[in-house]
């Protein structure tokens, strides 16, 4: 046996996290990687993070997450709280050498001073091709990199597992999460959420004159990344015996765009020379998000249509990501979103409705390998009050693989295997 220790180089995770880097405001990469399950890819080893020339027969994945999220929200739409605990993950992966494979295991969520919850990890995964994957069972990346007004980041700690069906590609995350089942005579309604996170455009658009130089390749550009969001929330059922409660359908849609200007210019050429030094400067990233809420029958409250929009600027400085933003909501409601943005308190119906909401936001974030923290400050312009949130995550994942030569993947045989340990 030979043991190899190396860091994970999972192509899919890196690509997807880059395309959604501006998604959920407080979803740190440490948390995102812990709740993300490698789709595997059916193809050569370079696309799976495996050693080239070898294929994996099976794998064990072990992980641990420590989390602290403290919100000092002195606001009528959401009360502050502390989420302090740890999560442990372990599951068996039946092998990357097949187009269809299994994941079997479990996740434990230990809330310090509270309850310990055990969630089965059961999934059947099918690789349609090298980059399109179907999951049935435990979903990957709960929260799906949705922005805070659509998804409360605290749910990643209180509801760390989702079950249903999911399609994943480098540009798309589409899923259905079955939240509550019902049986004949049961005392609860059926409920589920279907969602879609789609990359519309990602690329660079050049503008301005070319600078002189080899191949005339120096030019200013705009790096643009745009996404579309859609959520469908259903509550209903015909065979239950639940007491009267709101039933119906709610729809949320949204689009965002992130623009990073990269400026390129050329200094004045010295006397007697035809070309000069080229300078480059990157401006802060500007982001704009537009959201819409629809409750066609007004079954869940007084709002039939609501809107929300957010502007922000982000800049990297000495390893920190600094952001400043502005939120404006007009009758905005979100069943899974953070209450701080909403016109109705999602936990307390007795709180008076606030149709118009305006907030200023400041945040700072930094990550080191398996550790990350973020500090957010929100100023309600209508109430004149500050609210703050502090998030700290520490996570480690290890993968233990047994490898065999690629030409023997489908030939059962005993022989010299190789165990690979991946840490991510």
Q: Classify residue 122 by burial, with Cβ atoms within 10 Å: 0-12, 13-18, 19+.
A: middle
pLDDT digits (tens, 9 = 90+) for 278-301: 788 899 999 999 999 999 999 999
Extract the tokens encoding 182.
């019902």
In sign, the C-alpha dihedral spanning 10, 101, 88, 159 is positive
* 50 DSSP assignment: S
Phi-psi region of 170 (alpha: psi -120 to 50; beta: other; left: phi over 0): alpha
| Range scoring the smallest mean pLDDT among 199-208, 263-272, 351-360 | 263-272
* 270 DSSP assignment: P
Tally of CA atoms within 13 A in the half-sphere of 407 that contains its CB: 0
Q: Collapse the DSSP code of 257 into the 3-class scheme (helix H, G, I; strand E, B; otherwise coil) and give the result.
A: strand
| Range scoring the smallest mean pLDDT among 14-18, 140-144, 153-157, 180-184 | 14-18
pLDDT digits (tens, 9 = 90+) for 340-390: 999 999 999 899 999 999 999 999 999 988 899 999 999 999 999 999 999
CA 350, 177, 235 angle in degrees (round to 5)? Answer: 45
Distance, in Å, from the CA atom of 254 to the CA atom of 309, rounded to the nearest integer, reads: 9
Q: Tell me: pLDDT of 130 over 60.
A: yes
Distance, in Å, from the CA atom of 173 to the CA atom of 167, rounded to the nearest integer, reads: 6
Distance, in Å, from the CA atom of 343 to the CA atom of 334, rounded to the nearest integer, reads: 9
Q: Which residues contact 260 (CB under 8 A, 6 or more apart)?
A: 222, 223, 224, 282, 283, 284, 285, 286
Distance, in Å, from the CA atom of 147 to the CA atom of 338, rounded to the nearest integer, reads: 10
Q: Tell me: pLDDT of 89 over 60.
A: yes
Extract the tokens encoding 348.
């307390």
Say what the pTM is.
0.82
Element (H, E) at 11: helix 11-19
Q: Tell me: pLDDT of 238 over 90.
A: no
Q: Collapse the DSSP code of 64 into the 3-class scheme (helix H, G, I; strand E, B; otherwise coil) and give the result.
A: strand
Return the closest-CA partner of residue 149 out of 351, 329, 324.
329
The CATH code that applies to domain 3-423 is 2.40.160
Distance, in Å, from the CA atom of 350 to the CA atom of 367, rounded to the nearest integer, reads: 40
What are the extents of the domains in the chain?
Answer: 3-423
289, 272 Cβ separation under 8 angstroms: no
Distance, in Å, from the CA atom of 48 to the CA atom of 8, rounded to the nearest integer, reads: 10
pLDDT digits (tens, 9 = 90+) for 395-404: 999 988 766 5
290, 327 Cβ separation under 8 angstroms: no
Over residues 212-230, mean pLDDT: 80
pLDDT digits (tens, 9 = 90+) for 311-354: 999 999 999 999 999 999 999 999 999 999 999 999 998 999 99
Tally of CA atoms within 13 A in the half-sphere of 218 that contains its CB: 16
User: For position 128, what pLDDT does the model report?
Assistant: 86
């Amino acid at each position: 046996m030979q043991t190899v220790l190396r860091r994970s180089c999972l192509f899919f995770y890196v690509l997807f996290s880059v395309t959604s880097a501006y998604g959920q405001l407080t979803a740190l990469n440490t948390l995102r990687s812990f709740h993300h399950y490698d789709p595997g890819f059916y193809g050569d080893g370079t696309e799976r993070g495996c050693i080239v020339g070898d294929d994996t027969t099976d794998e064990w994945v072990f992980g641990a997450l420590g989390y602290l999220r403290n919100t000092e929200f002195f606001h009528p739409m959401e009360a502050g709280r502390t989420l302090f605990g740890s999560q442990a993950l372990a599951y068996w992966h039946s092998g990357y050498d097949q187009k269809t494979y299994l994941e079997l295991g479990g996740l434990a969520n230990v809330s310090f001073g509270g309850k310990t919850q055990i969630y089965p990890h059961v999934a059947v995964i099918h690789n349609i091709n090298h980059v399109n994957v179907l999951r049935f069972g435990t979903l990957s990346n709960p929260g799906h990199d949705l922005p805070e007004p659509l998804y409360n980041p605290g749910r990643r700690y209180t509801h760390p597992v989702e079950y249903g069906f999911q399609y994943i590609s480098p540009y798309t995350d589409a899923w259905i999460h079955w939240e509550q089942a019902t049986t004949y005579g049961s005392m609860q309604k059926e409920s589920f959420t279907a969602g879609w996170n789609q990359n519309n455009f990602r690329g660079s658009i050049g503008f301005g004159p070319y600078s002189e130089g080899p191949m005339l390749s120096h030019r200013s550009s705009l790096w643009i990344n745009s996404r579309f969001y859609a959520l469908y929330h259903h509550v209903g059922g015909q065979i239950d015996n639940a007491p009267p409660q709101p039933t119906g359908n709610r729809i949320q849609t949204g689009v965002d765009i992130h623009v990073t200007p990269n400026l390129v210019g050329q200094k004045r050429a010295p006397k007697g020379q035809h070309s000069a030094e080229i300078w480059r400067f990157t401006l802060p990233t500007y982001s704009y998000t537009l959201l819409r809420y629809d409750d066609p029958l007004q079954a869940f409250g007084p709002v039939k249509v609501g809107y929300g929009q957010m502007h922000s600027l982000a800049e990297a400085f000495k390893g920190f990501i600094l952001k400043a933003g502005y939120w404006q909501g007009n009758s905005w409601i979100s069943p899974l979103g953070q209450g701080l943005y909403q016109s109705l308190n999602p936990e307390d119906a007795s709180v008076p409705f606030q149709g118009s909401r305006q907030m200023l936001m400041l945040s700072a974030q930094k990550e080191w390998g398996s550790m990350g923290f973020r500090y957010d400050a929100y100023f309600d312009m209508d109430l004149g009050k500050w609210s703050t949130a502090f998030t700290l995550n520490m996570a480690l994942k290890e993968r233990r693989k047994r490898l065999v030569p690629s030409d023997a993947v489908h030939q059962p045989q005993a022989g010299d295997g190789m165990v690979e340990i991946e840490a991510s």
